[in-house]
Structure 1
């Protein structure tokens, strides 16, 4: 369906997948997300790349196969659009979960675990040393003074923020099951091609109004870089260095605080 202009048929009668096969990926995702959350310039994206790379290596050692593995991505470039569409249709209509479906579930679980771990760690780091590690914590720091965690007991603000984070996660699960089915019907009613064009126009206008010609130039270069990986048989995450390396060169020239961070 990556080569068509419509969304594949959606099954509204779905249930949550079993949790047991996802425990190990979620655990390592939490560890990676927590590690990235305390490092400057590192986000959930880098943690996800690390976890996905480790998952692929473990799958290769175990002799697993299936589209989506890093060492099999190049094989997709050798297949025609008709062959790719036939594989997607057979898996969607077969009623049996194929390797791609199971990998998609792992990816969703990994992303969720990484983002949760990063959110908790950046909040903790904000109250421990008073430094921001994400845009949300930077905005929080600008809104009101942060009471730094300087004793054995956490501050009241930190406890409240953690409680809100946990409560939001518990509330999101039942809401997602109800709202998700409605979103499936909404997406099926909207032509995919028009929706994609609308998003492109909106993003381009937003970049133009906020950053001008420089932002448009970066957007064009980033778009070109995003089109290259599928055609050469690699993942788009491998192109993240185009942004990471210039940021590292810039930050290395800045002054560091007592903790070694900016």
Structure 2
């Protein structure tokens, strides 16, 4: 092991932390982009005295910091990345009822708690997955099919006590709608992934990914258009107090950390899919918040934008479940970033762009115990910085947003997403974005969970392993 300079180590941690803020706050910019750029500049940086070890620290710190800050555009702008796609609806709806700061604080708490939980899980999970990994990989298709079955079977549709649909067949209608949405998005994913080579970015900033237009359309633009059609407004105040029991907070952290560690070991599973597992395990209807007002007309498939102020909420526990999901989803992302390093060391497989970059820079035989401990220390320090900056930004973001007309803001972000997709993925990527947007709105009209749109990833992966 090389001699490590404490000053350079802190500089690397802080550099990765700042990059994580940038990649977290700007939709479409991912830590993978910075990781690939750092790999390209590694020889030049080495000549300047920054050895591969410090570059790896920057990459890992960047990955952790992004998992904290990427909740902010998801909540305040409705613009997700691949890891926060499923937080758009619960987070954005909390925002619309004046609790955007609370949503961000819950997310930061989930990420910070998952760091502690992940460090506790490292040894037992490493021993367990090293033993069972070959068997799991052999039966990956069956595991994914089971996950899809659980998703569809748990769909119950919009819960309206005044509904006239009392027949025994009515409950199967929403499961059929969920299957349709899953298949439509799955076919869209197959089409897009098979033609990923057609993407020619206008601005070449790393390898273009078809996930950018797919997820930006399915989960970002579709939600922004829904907000425009329902004439939503951001309240002038933003509540930051945590209105959730300790039991739910702890359960969200533990389920998120466990699910995040799972996707780090298994091929083909993203953080978003792990988030589905947390929702199923904890019975969280995280992306359906149907609050019915008396004598009101349905809007976009009974989709509601008010959370706190409706005294006629048909199911108040749904609100707490959505908050719990924000915690668990953030725990998924941060735990996945940490366990990506663990999986690389234990089974020698890379599951993220960040770890691919680390492997390119360090190789596979240089990660001895002292280096690993320094890597973990760097990620913990990054998490500490990130928690406070995420909460601070969440507490102050509404001060800027309340001065802006929300409809114009949504329209501006929508245009920005479209421009970003075009610049980073070219004309074909923009075409995928345009197709994905109305498909993403189907869930609201069908009254089913939008998580079924993750068929865009699940179906291609299942067919790959069959």
**Counterpart for residue 260 of structure 1:** none
Matches within 5 A, 1:1-262: 1=96, 2=227, 3-12=230-239, 14-15=241-242, 17-56=244-283, 80-81=298-299, 88=307, 90-91=309-310, 98-142=316-360, 144-148=361-365, 154-249=368-463, 251-252=464-465
Per the normalisation by structure 2, the TM-score is 0.44
Q: How much does 1:4 deviate?
A: 2.1
Q: How much does 1:164 deviate?
A: 1.6
Matched positions, count: 233
Q: How much does 1:132 deviate?
A: 1.9
- Deviations along 1:182-202, one digit per CA (max 9) or x if unpaired, are 112122222222222222222
RMSD: 3.5
* Greater relative CO (CA pairs within 8 A, separation 6+): 2
Q: Equivalent residue of 2:349, what SS?
A: coil
Per the normalisation by structure 1, the TM-score is 0.73
Q: How much does 1:87 deviate?
A: 5.2
**Structure 2 unmatched runs, 5+:** 1-95, 97-226
- Deviations along 1:83-133, one digit per CA (max 9) or x if unpaired, are 8769546249xxxxx534422320221112111221111111223344321
Change (3 A) 1:174 1:209: closer
Change (3 A) 1:87 1:173: closer
Contact persistence 2:263–2:270 (CA under 8 A) = yes
**Counterpart for residue 258 of structure 1:** none
Whole-Å Cα distance in 2 between the matches of residues 89 and 35 of structure 1? 34
Q: How much does 1:27 deviate?
A: 1.3
Contact persistence 2:291–2:306 (CA under 8 A) = no
